Amino acid sequence: MADLDGNLDAKDFGIGVEQESAGFHVKGAGQLDFGMKHRLARVFRADGKTVMLAFDHGYFQGPTSGLERIDRNIVPLAPYADALMATRGVLRSVVPAGSSNALVVRASGGPSILKELSDEHVAMSMEDAARIDAAAVAVQVFVGGEHESRSVQNMTTLVDEGLRLGIPVLGVTAVGKELVRDARYLGLATRIIAELGAQVVKTYYCDAGFERVTAGCPVPVIMAGGRKLPVPDALEMAYRAVDQGAAGVDMGRNIFQRQAPEAMIRAVAAVVHDGATAADAEAMYRDLSGGASD
Ligand code: R5P
């Protein structure tokens, strides 16, 4: 029981010491098969980082603000993203097949916002992921949620199928309203997801101890965007997350709900790939947007 009780600080996460990656630029992936590596190399640039644009919200929220017309609002942003996170429905119906982005395809679902969100099932087969040329599939994992165990099983089912076909799994820490998004919880959830086989993990940033979350996870941790924040705060969060070990970001509302989404994704990319500070990136956003206020 001691590990459950207040000793996070007593642990040695080796902050600042990089994990050996066996000659491959994606953390924890050096010993995977060629197909897995080839797909991960489409998601993560040679610097080991990614700018993923999330617009899969409709799978449980319907036409979220900013996603009413994905053809008009999202497709023009694709050239600035390394990877697109979307449902197979939107990929097949709206996203141009000639797009060169890595595709991270939503593979869990079931409940809408009208129901208990952790009550998900596997919502697509890996054969279909292969058919759609997915670079990875994404699955929610509700650690501490009502249907925790099933959501873990959803993920491990996809991991087994992914290993068979060479398709990585992105496990998403889906944090219910009743749970606190602190380093203790996020460290627990990300580690469980990686230990059970996901090749990539997406999680929220936390102000204290995020570097322990990333250091304690043996595969890349991508920062989730979350609800829309003021521009400086969103860029600062992205900067800090990458500075503290995140392998990039997976942002949706903080990009597509802006007055100038293209300027915002370019500013985020400058933080992730070019080492821009939040202040540099904010100046870039203002400049590219012609002075947008939001
Ligand atoms: C959450 O985990 C889902 O995948 C979302 O639909 C999406 O990725 C969230 O993006 P954001 O919170 O940045 O709008």
pLDDT digits (tens, 9 = 90+) for 103-133: 999 999 999 999 999 999 999 999 999 999 9
Residue-level pLDDT at 126: 98
Report the atom number in ligand 1 closest to the C-alpha of 224: 13
Q: Is the dihedral of CA 101, 278, 188, 10 positive or negative?
A: positive
Report the atom number in ligand 1 closest to the C-alpha of 227: 12
Ligand 1: centre distance to CA 120 (Å): 15
How far apart CA 174 and CA 139 sit, in angstroms, is: 9
Residue-level pLDDT at 178: 82
Is 221:214 a contact under the CB 8 Å cutoff?
yes
Going by alpha carbons, the residue nearest to atom 8 of ligand 1 is: 54
Domain hosting 179: range is: 35-289
Q: Provide the CB-side half-sphere exposure for 231 (13 A, CA).
A: 24
What lines the ligand 1 site, CB under 6 Å? 54, 56-57, 85, 172, 174, 224-226, 251-254
Question: Percent of the chain having pLDDT more than 70?
Answer: 97
CATH code (residue 150):
3.20.20.70
Is the whole-model pTM more than 0.75? yes
Question: Tell me, what DSSP letter sits at residue 68?
Answer: T
Q: Is the dihedral of CA 43, 262, 67, 71 positive or negative?
A: negative
Q: Is residue 274 over pLDDT 90? A: yes
Q: Provide the CB-side half-sphere exposure for 165 (13 A, CA).
A: 21
* Structural tokens at position 82: 């390394």
Domain annotation covers residue 143: yes
Q: Quick one: average pLDDT of 263-289? A: 98
Domain annotation covers residue 147: yes
Which of 167, 85, 152, 146 is closest to 122 using CA atoms? 152
Domain annotation covers residue 16: no
Residue-level pLDDT at 8: 53
Ligand 1: centre distance to CA 53 (Å): 9
Question: Tell me, what DSSP letter sits at residue 104?
Answer: E
Domain annotation covers residue 200: yes
Give the Cα-Cα-Cα angle 39, 69, 107 (nearest 5 degrees): 35
Best probe residue, ligand 1, of 52, 70, 85, 143 (max atoms within 8 Å of C-beta): 85
Q: Quick one: average pLDDT of 14-24? A: 92
pLDDT tens-digit series, residues 46-104:
999 999 999 999 999 999 999 999 999 999 999 999 999 999 999 999 999 999 999 99
Q: Are strands 121-122 and 108-109 parallel, antiparallel or unpaired?
A: antiparallel
Best probe residue, ligand 1, of 64, 142, 250, 251 (max atoms within 8 Å of C-beta): 250
> Exposure pattern of 120-133 as b/e (b: 16+ CB <10 Å)?
bebbbebeebbebe
Residues classed as catalytic = 202
Q: Is residue 276 over pLDDT 80? A: yes
Going by alpha carbons, the residue nearest to atom 10 of ligand 1 is: 252
Report how many domains make up the chain. 1
Residue-level pLDDT at 152: 98
Which region, left, alpha or beta, applies to residue 37 given φ > 0 means left and ψ of -120 to 50 means alpha?
A: alpha
Residue-level pLDDT at 176: 82
How far apart CA 189 and CA 151 sit, in angstroms, is: 12
Domain annotation covers residue 215: yes
Ligand 1: centre distance to CA 225 (Å): 7
- CB contact set of 6 (below 8 Å; sequence gap of 6+): none
Report the atom number in ligand 1 closest to the C-alpha of 256: 14
Report the atom number in ligand 1 closest to the C-alpha of 202: 2
* Structural tokens at position 267: 């500013």
Q: Is residue 7 over pLDDT 60? A: no
Domain annotation covers residue 86: yes
Ligand 1: centre distance to CA 34 (Å): 29
Give the pLDDT band of residue 1 (cuts 50, 70, 90). very low
Ligand 1: centre distance to CA 16 (Å): 29
Report the atom number in ligand 1 closest to the C-alpha of 106: 4
Ligand 1: centre distance to CA 192 (Å): 20
